Amino acid sequence: MSFDNEENVPELPDVTIYLEALESRVLSRRLDKVRLASPFVLRTVEPAVSELAGKHVTSLRRLGKRIVLGFEDDLFLVIHLMIAGRFKWLAPGAKVPGKVGLAAFDFENGTLILTEAGSKRRASIHILRGEDALRALDPGGLEPLEMSLDEFRDALTRERHTLKRTLTDPHTFSGIGNAYSDEILHRAKLSPVQMSTNLSGEEIARLYHATRAVLIEWIERLRADAGSGFPEKVTAFRPEMAVHGRYNLPCPVCGSPVQRIVYAENETNYCARCQTGGRLLADRALSRLLNVDWPKSIDEIG
């Protein structure tokens, strides 16, 4: 069973590839017009959306999982894709898709379309003026590819939470979500429910290097997949992943079936043999249903 609404969240590697594709298409280009197909996607009133018309893009950056386009006159267009938001790059003046289209940004050389699948409208657009307004949207997490080991250790151990929660907390680390946290913890051979304050120095260093390695590897992989084209299949579930979204499939390291913990709309995937010493982590829903029949180790399920 998969939870598509969660598995498709664009995270740091995916947003990075979007930014690279946008840079080659819109940096220094003039935005002629913004067309809003859904008025609810715009979460700000001032500055007015019309103020962006005729302005050139001066910068692009990532703010957590948000994409930020900087314009002349200290204006910023901030887009949060949330769970199901995606971009398309089409010919100038392209029509906004009827069911999934939220907005169109008409540049002189093409149109950037913002879409969102599903019935829940969570994607958002903010139009801001000035760096101070932009900083107010920043959760403040460390940039995983810019932090030192000491900075990582301090952030990781500042509060006592599970490693899964700590890695995905935007106030602690920027841009890591459900998918890549699974991959990072598998690479580091650490349990998702291990407490952040209970790690040895060697385990902290292992997690630090795993975080950097997994994110860098996936940025490079996604970059190669996109080539010179615009990213079309942005998803945080990919068959090449080690454990995320691979419940009951063999772990690529040891061959044991990948396990999961399900809670609300989230799913955490892990390898019991590689990460928890063979111990199965209790899934709240199933463990309540099975009670004493819940297996305790990977060996009990073959």
Please state the separation of Cα 11 from the chain's center in Å: 2
Q: What is the pLDDT of residue 298?
A: 42
Q: What is the mean predicted confidence (pLDDT) over 17-36?
A: 97
Binned at pLDDT 50, 70 and 90, residue 266 comes out as confident
Which is higher by pLDDT, 300 or 202?
202
**pLDDT at site 287:** 45
Q: What is the CATH number of domain 4-135?
A: 3.20.190.10
The CATH number that domain 149-301 falls under is 1.10.8.50
Give this prediction's pTM.
0.90
Q: Can 4-135 and 149-301 be said to share one CATH topology?
A: no
168-206 confidence digits (pLDDT tens): 999 999 999 999 999 999 999 999 999 999 999 999 999
Asked if residue 145 has pLDDT above 90, the reply is: yes
First-to-final CA distance of the chain: 20
Q: What is the mean pLDDT of the chain?
A: 90
pLDDT band at 58 (very low <50, low <70, confident <90, very high): very high
Residues 192 and 165: their CA atoms lie apart, in Å, by: 8
Name the residue with higher pLDDT: 266 or 226: 226
Q: What is the pLDDT of residues 210-229, one digit of tens each?
A: 999 999 999 999 999 999 99
pLDDT given for residue 129 in this prediction: 98
How many C-beta atoms lie closer than 10 Å to residue 93's C-beta?
Answer: 12
Closest CA to 79 of 89, 88, 69, 71: 69
The whole-number average pLDDT for the span 56-62 is: 98
Annotated domain spans of the chain: 4-135, 149-301
Tell me the per-residue pLDDT of 82-106, one tens digit each, with 9 for 90 and over: 988 999 999 999 999 988 999 999 9
Give the Cα separation of 132 and 136 in Å (integer). 6
pLDDT of residue 283: 67
Q: How many CA atoms lie within 13 A of 42 on its CB side?
A: 18
| Confidence band, pLDDT 50/70/90 cuts, at residue 148 | very high
Residues 6 or more apart whose CB falls under 8 angstroms from that of 264 comprise none
pLDDT over threshold 60, residue 71: yes
| pLDDT at site 264 | 66
Interval 146-157 mean pLDDT: 98
